[in-house]
Amino acid sequence: MEYKDMTFCPFYRSCSDGDHCYRALTDWVKVEAGAFGLPISQYTDRPPCYKGTIETFAAHENDGQTA
């Protein structure tokens, strides 16, 4: 395994392109990095390429409507 200076994305699960992202911080990446004793650099905020998904909203307290 080799990733040189790559920064991985822990937000890939909520990103609409996350299934195809080469920077996704998957469980496999974590296991492989751990096996070789490699540190993992990861984004602390969503990267510029992040494409969010539709969020669900809780029902309004008074009338049960959603956003």
Non-local CB neighbours of 7 within 8 Å, separated by 6+ positions: 23, 41, 42, 43, 47
23: helix, strand or coil: coil
Q: Would 65 be classed as within a structural domain?
A: no
Q: Would 21 be classed as within a structural domain?
A: yes
Q: Would 67 be classed as within a structural domain?
A: no
Q: Would 62 be classed as within a structural domain?
A: no
Residue 10 confidence class, pLDDT cut points 50, 70, 90: very high
Q: Would 31 be classed as within a structural domain?
A: yes
Q: What is the pLDDT of residues 13-62, one digit of tens each?
A: 888 888 899 999 999 999 999 998 989 999 999 999 998 775 544 555 65
- Residue 44 to residues 6, 28, 31, 32: CA-CA distances in angstroms? 14, 20, 20, 21
Task: Give Dmax (Cα) for the chain.
Answer: 55
Q: Would 61 be classed as within a structural domain?
A: no
| Number of independent structural domains in the chain | 1
Name the residue range of residue 43's domain. Answer: 1-51
